[in-house]
Amino acid sequence: MTYKKSIILMLMTTTLSESQMNIPPGMIDLGAGNPPFSLLPIDLLKTAAEACFSKNNPAFLQYGAEQGDGRFRLGLADFLTHGYGFPVDAEHLFVTNGISNALDLICALFTRTGDTIFVEEPSYFLALRIFADHGLKIVSIDTDEDGLVIDSLEEKLREHKPKLLYVIPTHQNPSGHTLTEERRAQLAELAREHDFLILADEVYHFLSYDIQPPKSFSAWTENKHVFSLGSFSKILAPGLRLGWVQAHPDMIKKLAGCGLLDSGGGLNPFTSAVVHHVIESGGLAQNIAKLNDIYKSKLSVTNSALEKYLPQTTWASPQGGYFFWVRLPDGMDAAELQRKATDFKVGFRPGVRFSSRDGLHDYIRLSFVFYEPVEIEEGIVRLKRCMEQG
Ligand SMILES: Cc1ncc(COP(=O)(O)O)c(C=O)c1O
């Protein structure tokens, strides 16, 4: 076979996907939990990458320090100190490939197959997959509009001895709820008392539009049972694959001392150097302010469209993050609605995917960040038509 023919054959047999997104043309997929392409800060990152390459110091192309590049961690600590309003020490930070990677690594290092993890009901469905990959037994805890319910947690603690508890404290995925500061403190205390580790996934902490969020779990990391996990995916770009863990230095040592890093070096030194420049230039803070402005107005458009076109559904307007968590009327089944919705060229995520108890069948998750306001409204109109069809 000629070279040209083999290339043509390869093009025919391979999906040359450029991103994780796979939305058919004409479809409005309100399930998409990604930032819009138009808000991926290409110029900011181009300038930062050029600055790295022009320095004539190729250290960022070398195997990296296990805990993550020291200068980057100093810059990140400074950014977090300003963002949280209390000091964050660079020695308490560990660089990751994002929160998904942090969850996977912590499961690998701190659990064995068959161990129990507590999660919220509902919870981020793809994190549940990571826990399943590690053979963990998933037990879900009730939540309300203030996040995880402490009474429900205490009840489960009488029945189980969890190794981990996974919580999304601020603008939760999918519910949009935020855990109160009082409950955060109670949770940290219970973790110490019952010797389990809290994995606080703070991916939406800096995407707060209407409230100053309660203190990040960063504030409780003097407690060796608390890991605060952060990410640049939603505040810069997911393709960077960059995030961090903040924890007590003894716990950071355990992470940095693992075989993965011994062999491969610290995670993502190249991207860390680029993002370090973005932080130092003030570009990160500006990007977050820009995202918050745009997302706040998209949130408001979604709220109005729901009020106008789907008044029979129930939801609480989120105060940040990415998602509306909408309850369908009269116990309508979201999975069935989803099958019909394809014909109306509209998509969403059915609630059952976020349940660890095969529940929440009458909920749907709608993302309000990926599309432009007119598309959001059109998507909700399509959803209305689909629901009316019965
Ligand atoms: C709650 C939550 N955690 C983690 C992630 C993924 O984070 P990362 O890109 O840092 O792996 C997402 C992405 O949608 C998310 O919603």
CA 286 – CA 278 distance, rounded (Å): 10
CA–centroid distance, residue 167 to ligand 1 (Å): 12
Q: Identify the three-state secondary structure at position 331.
A: helix
Q: Is the CB of 323 under 6 A from ligand 1?
A: no
Amino acid 390: pLDDT: 61
Q: Is the CB of 31 under 6 A from ligand 1?
A: no
Q: Phi-psi bin for 147: left (phi > 0), alpha (psi -120 to 50), beta?
A: left
Q: Which two tokens stand for residue 382?
A: 């399509």
CA 246 – CA 251 distance, rounded (Å): 9
CA 9 – CA 11 distance, rounded (Å): 5
Query: Which atom from ligand 1 is nearest to the alpha carbon of 173?
Result: 1
Amino acid 10: pLDDT: 54
Cα angle: 325, vertex 176, 311; to 5 degrees: 35
Q: Is the CB of 242 under 6 A from ligand 1?
A: no
Amino acid 21: pLDDT: 78
Q: Which residues contact 126 (CB under 8 A, 6 or more apart)?
A: 100
Strand pairing class (323-327; 164-167): unpaired
Q: Is the CB of 354 under 6 A from ligand 1?
A: no
Among the listed residues 324, 310, 314, the one whose alpha carbon sits nearest the alpha carbon of residue 388: 310
CA–centroid distance, residue 275 to ligand 1 (Å): 18
For residue 90, CA distances in Å to 65, 75, 81, 103, 151 come to 14, 8, 10, 20, 35
Amino acid 18: pLDDT: 77
Q: Is the CB of 268 under 6 A from ligand 1?
A: no
Q: Is the CB of 377 under 6 A from ligand 1?
A: no
Amino acid 114: pLDDT: 98
Amino acid 210: pLDDT: 82
Amino acid 13: pLDDT: 53
Burial of 241 (0-12, 13-18, 19+ CB in 10 A): middle
In contact, 109 and 85? CB cutoff 8 Å: no
Q: Is the CB of 267 under 6 A from ligand 1?
A: no
Q: Is the CB of 203 under 6 A from ligand 1?
A: yes
CA–centroid distance, residue 102 to ligand 1 (Å): 10
Query: Which atom from ligand 1 is nearest to the alpha carbon of 242?
Result: 10
Residue 115 is classified by DSSP as: -
Residue 300 is classified by DSSP as: H
Q: Tell me which residues of the chain have a pLDDT lower than 70.
A: 1-15, 390
Question: pLDDT tens-digit profile of 69-123?
Answer: 999 999 999 999 999 999 999 999 999 999 999 999 999 999 999 999 999 999 9
Task: Determine which residue's CA is closest to atom 14 belonging to ligand 1.
Answer: 33
For 304, the enclosing helix (H) or strand (E) is: helix 283-309
Residue 328 is classified by DSSP as: P
Amino acid 371: pLDDT: 97
Q: Which residues contact 169 (CB under 8 A, 6 or more apart)?
A: 147, 178, 179, 184, 200, 201, 202, 205, 214, 216, 217
Residue whose token pair is 């998750």: 365
**Helices and strands of the chain, counted as H and E runs:** 13, 13
CA 118 – CA 100 distance, rounded (Å): 17
